[in-house]
Amino acid sequence: MPDKSSKLVTLLFVLFFAIVLPAGHLLGIVSINTISLWGRYCCFAIAALGIDLIWGYTGIMSMCQAFFFCLGGYCMGMHLLLKATALQGQELPDFMIWNNFSSLPAFWQPFHGFVPAVLLALLVPAGIAFIIGFFVFRSRIKGVYMAIITQALALGMYLLFLRNETKLGGTNGLTNFKTVLGFDLSSSATKLGLYFAAVVMLCISYILCRKIVNSKFGKVLQAIRDSEPRVGYTAYRVLHYKLAVFVVAAVLAGLAGMLYVPQTGIITPGRMSVTSSVEMLMWVALGGRGRLKGAIIGALLVNCLYSLCTSLFPEGWLFVLGILYILTVLYFDKGFTGLFDKLSTLLHSRRKAVVESPAISGSSSPSLRGAARLSAERDEAIS
């Protein structure tokens, strides 16, 4: 029953984003800006899936996912900027001219082509995650130390990208994009296309992630979260597994960033600040850790709320987010999805109780529940 209803929810979800929203636009009810906004949220949801894999399933708190997101974003941004520059007949992007560059830096060269740029947007985050992950996981850094070290990395990279010497536009980042694959970025049709690309990639990412978590590999990830030493003594090389999931999460973040940039038209170091990474973790925490749907719902809902709040009372957003976070930590540690589950089981049992004869359910269940609680208490006392 719950399986069936969750399938239904997924179907409705896909129908809404793939058909209802675009149809609304064609009928003139939904503005293209709203569509584009949801397209961006879908990108966030892709990154959130990666965070759920590494944090929700494996229990590794990585606080530099926004950095990987921006790596993907910058790769795409560099390509778009080079195209725009060529369109204007210039040799160098504007910011390079202002900074008195004489020629295009060598590492910009591969980004002339679309395909190399897309590949690099995925490979650069993967490669950097691999290198960082290798050293961090080999040193058996975990828990709060992992969070601190990745946070420090995010901050360091943020400061590095702020500088003009990095040759990536400094504080202003990359902007003034004109076309993608020859399509005009300001036209509604292109925006709709980019929205579809984001939705499709979100669906593909979700399916792949679900394959991953349902495979034995996914079970090993959960086992690492539960008891890492036991996994080692069961002859699994924990380092390889952690590294693999860290790289997968980074690639998802890179993919999200790559899809995000053409839709927003700008990428700045602000996107990779420590707060952005923390916000990304919050999406997953609020949506429901350890559930792929939770990550998606969290990313979409929180960002939707963000847009609503910032337009209604711009000053209040951080308070709203903070209160939501505290409520989640205190009362529903499984996030929104956990709340839905609780409600649906409550409804279910209510319905069941009505159907069954009240005498039976009344006599048997309290004693059983008491016994279960006793055994749980005994377990805790022993451990």
Partner 1 sequence: MLLSVNNLSVSFGGLQALNLSHFQLEDKELRVVIGPNGAGKSTFMDILCGKTKPDTGEILFNGKPTHGLTEVEIAELGIGRKFQKPTVFSSLTVFENMTLAARMKKDVFSSLFFKMSPAFKKRIIEVAERVGLTSVLHQQAGALSHGQKQWLEIAIVVLQDPKLLLIDEPAAGMSDRETERTGELLLELSKEHGVIVIEHDMHFVRQIANNRVSVLVNGKLLMEGSFEEVRNDQRVIDCYLGRANAQLEKL
- Tell me how far, at minimum, the Cβ of 214 lies from partner 1, in Å: 11
- Tell me how far, at minimum, the Cβ of 339 lies from partner 1, in Å: 19
- Tell me how far, at minimum, the Cβ of 135 lies from partner 1, in Å: 17
Written in H, E and C, the secondary structure of 298-332 is HHHHHHHHHHHHHHHCHHHHHHHHHHHHHHHHHCC
Q: Which is nearer to partner 1, 151 or 222 (CB)?
A: 222
Identify how many contiguous H helices and E strands the chain contains and give both numbers.
Answer: 16, 4
Q: Which is nearer to partner 1, 215 or 349 (CB)?
A: 215
Q: Which is nearer to partner 1, 248 or 267 (CB)?
A: 248
Burial track 113-133 (b if 16+ CB lie within 10 A, e otherwise): eeeebbebbbbbbbebbeebb
The Cα–Cα gap between 260 and 34 comes to 15
Residue 142: which of 25, 264, 267, 246 has the closest Cα? 246
Q: Which is nearer to partner 1, 215 or 310 (CB)?
A: 215
Q: Which is nearer to partner 1, 19 or 376 (CB)?
A: 376
The Cα–Cα gap between 258 and 205 comes to 14
Query: Which spans of this chain sit near partner 1 (rule: CB under 8 A)?
Result: 212, 215-217, 219-220, 222-223, 225-227, 229-237, 240-241, 244, 290, 375-376, 378-379, 382-383
- Tell me how far, at minimum, the Cβ of 216 lies from partner 1, in Å: 4
CB of 287 within 8 A of CB of 298?
Answer: yes
- Tell me how far, at minimum, the Cβ of 150 lies from partner 1, in Å: 21
- Tell me how far, at minimum, the Cβ of 238 lies from partner 1, in Å: 8
The Cα–Cα gap between 231 and 243 comes to 15
- Tell me how far, at minimum, the Cβ of 223 lies from partner 1, in Å: 4
Q: Which is nearer to partner 1, 359 or 382 (CB)?
A: 382
- Tell me how far, at minimum, the Cβ of 123 lies from partner 1, in Å: 19
The Cα–Cα gap between 304 and 299 comes to 8
- Tell me how far, at minimum, the Cβ of 345 lies from partner 1, in Å: 16
Q: Which is nearer to partner 1, 121 or 212 (CB)?
A: 212
175 secondary structure, DSSP code: E
Q: What is the DSSP string of 181-214?
A: TTEETTSHHHHHHHHHHHHHHHHHHHHHHHHHHH
CB of 207 within 8 A of CB of 183?
Answer: no
Q: Report the Cα–Cα distance between both ends of the chain, in Å, rounded.
A: 36
Residue 356 φ/ψ, nearest 5 degrees: -70, 160
- Tell me how far, at minimum, the Cβ of 269 lies from partner 1, in Å: 33
Measure CA 6 to chain center.
21
Q: Which is nearer to partner 1, 317 or 332 (CB)?
A: 332
The Cα–Cα gap between 306 and 296 comes to 15
Q: Which is nearer to partner 1, 184 or 226 (CB)?
A: 226
Q: Which is nearer to partner 1, 29 or 376 (CB)?
A: 376
Written in H, E and C, the secondary structure of 209-254 is HHHHHHCHHHHHHHHHHHCHHHHHHCCCCHHHHHHHHHHHHHHHHH
CB of 263 within 8 A of CB of 191?
Answer: yes
